[in-house]
Amino acid sequence: MQWETVIGLEIHAQLATQSKIFSGSATTFGADANTQASLVDLAMPGTLPVLNKTAVEMALKFGLAIDAELGMTNIFARKNYFYPDLPKGYQTSQMDDPVVGKGHLDITLEDGTVKRIGITRAHLEEDAGKSLHEDFHGMSGIDLNRAGTPLLEIVSEPDIRSAKEAVAYVKAIHALVRYLGICDGNMAEGSLRCDCNVSVRPKGQAEFGTRAEIKNVNSFRFIEKAINHEVQRQIELIEDGGKVVQETRLYDPNKDQTRSMRSKEEANDYRYFPCPDLLPVVLDPATIEQLRGELPELPPQKCARFQSAYGLSAYDASVLSASRELADYFEAVNQVCNDAKLAANWVMGELSSLLNKDNLDIEQSPVSAAQLGGMLLRIQDNTISGKIAKMVFEAMAAGEGDADQIIESKGLKQVTDSGAIESMLDDVLAANAEQVQQYRDSDEAKRGKMFGFFVGQAMRASKGKANPQQVNELLKKKLEG
Amino acid sequence: MDLHTLTLRQIGDGLRDKQFSAEELTRTLLARIKQQNSRTNAFITVTGESALEQARAADARRANGENGALLGAPIAHKDLFCTQGVRTSCGSKMLDNFIAPYNATAVEKLANAGCVSLGKTNMDEFAMGSSNASSYYGAVHNPWQLDCIPGGSSGGSAAAIAARMVPAATGTDTGGSIRQPAALCGLTGLKPTYGRVSRWGMVAYASSLDQGGPMARDAYDCALLLGAMAGFDPKDSTCVDQPVDDYLAQLDQPLKGLKIGLPKEYFGGGLDSRIGTATHAAVAELEKLGASVKEISLPNLQHAIAAYYVIAPAEASSNLSRFDGVRYGHRCDNPSDLSDLYKRSRSEGFGSEVKRRIMVGTYALSAGYYDAYYIKAQQIRRLIKNDFIAAFKEVDVIMGPTTPNPAWALGAKGNDPVAEYLEDIYTITANLAGLPGISMPAGFVDGLPVGVQLLAPYFQEGRLLNIAHQYQQVTDWHLQAPTGF
Amino acid sequence: MALQRTDVEKIAHLARLGLGEEELASTTETLNNILGLIDAMQAVDTTGIEPLAHPLEATQRLREDVVSEQNQRDAYQAIAPAVEQGLYLVPKVID
């Protein structure tokens, strides 16, 4: 039987506010346990929440960016359940009237096609604390530093049809929240977390199959693996005559498998009701317009502009616009050298491999955009060849200075004086008289292959500095001569 | 001079005129509490040392030329206002070991005004009750008749004032918990407009109904205390950012032209006719002062108890989930697993009425019942509010009995919570609609005090205090003291 | 719709209240009495009436995003039943 996968994602993005959503505690990651847990975060009796303005504005920016209906009157509700990392015994969240309603996001698939993914809603809520499972005489330890950190829960429609699409969607959300400056996107620290609702159905069937929810998958690679594993598990289960049960599962990256979460097994009855300690949040249209005006250029617009203004290919434009920092870097390089294609090649080529090799973000690049742009200018004015440029780039990466300094101090300036090149070629040919004779005796086809040998010898003799074009021309003349 | 008989106003005058010091007054009252508390059980905690410190600080401020009306005035706090460093028990075993790590805003404001806190008063557990019988610390006895209940849930505050242990105290009112014990103990008590007094630091029972307010012997003292308690607090989202009226300045306004509405539903079956008579007598006094009277109708009154006993327990069931034995409060011995920790800590820590209301609320919010109970109750809540809006188009204030019956004998309602719930009939509508209400002494039935209630439009606490004050200029019910106290 | 004992067990579990055998029986009876009182409101016609959650119908005030709290762990944990290394201890949490 042919199976179709249906996926919907719930992404929790921690909003990059200074303070928590309902209290004045700091949200800094990695502080000592419970040192960022105030009276409100600890749910001390008599304490009350007051909503963080920036958290609301960040949610609205997201809503504007996905072209969503905004909840002009949005309401906080209590989701009641007992868990030790949930100090109040309820999570303050949004249910019926979220801050962001229906919207959409376009993703680019590997084959270059664009697919529109529906976003059902995005709502504000508070994060829970953490249970630490190190053994304290058979007990668990509870750290409430994270409790009350603002979250935007972004719920997609079940529009996603493969693990690869899911990854593309999460990457697009990741890029978007970073573009908007509302989330640092650090998945290792849990700033962006993903729950995957996965089901399968026979191809052509209209109804959805029973879904399982895989909780807290925290890297792009694991999202793909977890979904693929879960799809396989469900197909095998059904084909063996079994039934998928609706449940919450946990992905174990070490074993590359999902398993049922015992603690979530019992059917929950969350008893949502409007939080009586918080009043309806009524949005002011003027605030919305102001936020709209503050929105940065977003990935789709940037991608389009890179193609139209710089003549980049769709692929290059989408790679370079995938992150705001990368796009900014590329544009800064281009600002200096004024050759977008050259800049794009270097940013996506040498620079990317350098960063990948050392596992660095673009903001940590040892070569600044000004430095790279400056070096590209030297390629353009023939001071150095592309090959020499790679040496210069490596030297810049090693912190040896700007391109001009390196070219100067290492004497890498390209030789373009034809007299000097000719005398150097004469030496090369003289030292390889036997090969010269062979060349001259050979037919056209064989000569082509041998020509490269002489170029190589010549470039080595010039330590790579001779202008390759001139070397080619003059060498040809001398050999044919 | 018998210092324990003085009102806040008289105390302010005496301190100003240096007839006695705050320290002297505090020592006198602490001694009186020591002597009388065993008879009433009004106090859960007496904070003698810190009271004397505060009194000396107030004396020092007076010596430095300060002359605030409440500077050095002794009060007590209902034991659900958080008081830093002092046990805040809510009348519950659950919080018997809870030393609050911070002050409630109302506590802070009164301290800043110079009030000296003598201690924490008894109450129905988590403010759930009308008799003060559900306290973990035992029932409170009504000073007017010791085998009767003082009312609740602010029963300890009421008994403490009636027994002349303290001239005034804070209370909270979720369904009548200030007004009903004030009525049953012969006191004046005011529930402000929802949002007038900050709820920060008041342990929540039902968040959309709870409101702190003053209890004292007369309206003047309530005006003094409310003026200091009320006001905007950025820490409470539901607290209203609106200036506090000068309540004292309004007290002397004449009542001429005042239009009083008498809801016919307040005088129907279930009302002790003697309280009805007392209420009509009070109305007649106000007429003599220039008020006119009109019969009105609040047709949805009859549904108020049902709506209230859905909304309040629903909110309570969620508010009380934080008591889980993890961060503070009672924790069972040697929990075997998480579920055991929760279930045993909570069933040991909560008394039976609290458990009942948590269960009613849990049920009302549960899947399949939410619409039939919670939403329905919220719709009725709007109908009740609409009744008041319509009524206040015709009249300035609404008047009626505070309670259908005088204080009942301890244990008389047995194990029937419903019988006790019905006693809230006249008071809970003000909470559902968020309106201010005052209860003032208006007579006696079988030697027990009874009260009348006035309700006003939002933020017209000043008008209520004005009317009560004018009434108290021509009557002396509020001046009566229980025999033996 | 009177509650059965099993309903009460379920509600008690949701509310994490451990009720003994005797308590279960008496609670079932009392809850049914209370629900009897409450159920009177089913007779009220509330068609088209907007539910009222907050008496004043005010709107939420927003707080500036400023860190105003300092670390007070020691003071706050002084009243905790079980702490170690700054953590609150609970019986093992199983995911």
Q: Between B229 and A111, where is the model more confident? A: B229
Q: What percent of chain B has pLDDT over 70?
A: 100
Q: Which of A130, A36, A44 is nearest to A86 (CA)?
A: A130
DSSP state at residue A100: B
pLDDT of residue A264: 53
Residue carrying structure tokens 């064989």: A446
Q: Which residues of A touch C63 (CB under 8 A)?
A: 24, 50-53
A83-138 pLDDT tens trace? 999 999 999 999 999 999 999 999 988 787 889 999 999 999 999 999 998 778 88
In this prediction the pTM is: 0.91
pLDDT of residue B220: 98
Cα–Cα dist B230/B192, whole Å:
9
Confidence check: pLDDT of A263 > 80: no
pLDDT of residue B311: 98
Confidence check: pLDDT of B415 > 80: no
Q: Give C 35-64 residues with CB within 8 A of chain B.
A: 35-42, 44, 46, 49-56, 58, 60-61, 63
Residues 6+ apart with CB under 8 A from A260: A247, A248, A249, A250
The chain-wide mean pLDDT, for chain B, equals: 97
Residue type, B75: I
pLDDT of residue A456: 87
**Which of A25, A44, A268 is the best residue to mutate to test the B interface, defined by the most B CB atoms within 10 Å of its own CB?**
A44
CATH tag for B3-260+395-479 (out of 3.30.230.10, 2.60.40.10, 3.30.930.10, 3.90.1300.10): 3.90.1300.10
Q: Which residue of C has its CA nearest to B365?
A: C11
Identify whether the C-beta of residue A330 lies closer than 8 Å to the C-beta of residue A345: no
Q: Where are the domains of chain C?
A: 5-42
Structure tokens at A55: 């958290």
Q: How far is B334 from chain C (nearest CA, A)?
A: 9
State whether A44 and C90 contact (CB < 8 Å): no
Q: Which residue of C has its CA nearest to B416?
A: C30
Q: What is the mean pLDDT of residues B310-315?
A: 98
Dihedral sign (CA C63, C68, C71, C77): negative
A163-174 pLDDT tens trace? 999 999 999 999
Structure tokens at C52: 């009222």
Identify whether the C-beta of residue B273 lies closer than 8 Å to the C-beta of residue B406: no
pLDDT band at A288 (very low <50, low <70, confident <90, very high): very high
From B99, B101, B208, residue closest to C53, measured CB to CB: B208
pLDDT of residue A417: 83
Report the Cα A209 to chain-centroid distance in Å: 31
pLDDT of residue B127: 98
State whether C81 and B328 contact (CB < 8 Å): yes
Active site residues of B: 78, 153, 177
Query: Cα-atom radius of gyration of chain A, to the nearest Å?
Result: 30
pLDDT band at B229 (very low <50, low <70, confident <90, very high): very high
Helices (H) and strands (E) in chain A, counts: 16, 16
Q: What is the mean pLDDT of residues A363-392?
A: 92
The chain-wide mean pLDDT, for chain C, equals: 94
B164-176 pLDDT tens trace? 999 999 999 999 9
State whether C18 and B343 contact (CB < 8 Å): yes
Confidence check: pLDDT of A266 > 70: no
C54-73 pLDDT tens trace? 999 899 999 999 999 999 99
Residue carrying structure tokens 């694991």: A222
Q: How many CB pairs under 8 A join A and B?
A: 100
Residues 6+ apart with CB under 8 A from A462: A415, A421, A424, A471
State whether B98 and A279 contact (CB < 8 Å): no
Identify whether the C-beta of residue B156 lies closer than 8 Å to the C-beta of residue B79: yes
Cα–Cα dist A220/A163, whole Å:
10
A23-37 pLDDT tens trace? 999 999 999 999 999
pLDDT band at B181 (very low <50, low <70, confident <90, very high): very high
Identify whether the C-beta of residue B328 lies closer than 8 Å to the C-beta of residue B376: no
Identify whether the C-beta of residue A247 lies closer than 8 Å to the C-beta of residue A212: yes
A408-422 pLDDT tens trace? 888 888 888 888 888
The chain-wide mean pLDDT, for chain A, equals: 92
Residue type, C5: R
Q: Which residues of C touch A143 (CB under 8 A)?
A: 86-87
Confidence check: pLDDT of A339 > 60: yes
Task: Answer whether A42 touches B (CB < 8 Å).
Answer: yes
- Which stretch of A93-102, A323-332, B228-237 has the lowest confidence by average pLDDT? A323-332
CATH of domain A418-480: 1.10.10.410
Q: Which of B51, B38, B232 is nearest to B122 (CA)?
A: B38
Cα–Cα dist A311/C5, whole Å:
74
Q: Between A261 and B35, where is the model more confident? A: B35
Q: What is the mean pLDDT of residues A448-468?
A: 85
Q: What is the mean pLDDT of residues B432-442?
A: 98
B342-389 pLDDT tens trace? 999 999 999 999 999 999 999 999 999 999 999 999 999 999 999 999
From C16, C36, C79, residue closest to B328, measured CB to CB: C79
Looking at domain C5-42, its CATH architecture is: Orthogonal Bundle (1.10)
Confidence check: pLDDT of A481 > 80: no
Is residue A157 packed enough to be buried (19+ CB in 10 Å), middle (13-18) or exposed (0-12)? middle
State whether A48 and B200 contact (CB < 8 Å): yes
Identify whether the C-beta of residue B3 lies closer than 8 Å to the C-beta of residue B25: yes
Cα distances from A92 to residues A149, A150, A205, A335, B483, in angstroms, run: 11, 10, 38, 47, 52
At residue A153, φ and ψ (nearest 5 deg) are -95, 120
pLDDT of residue B252: 97
Confidence check: pLDDT of A363 > 60: yes
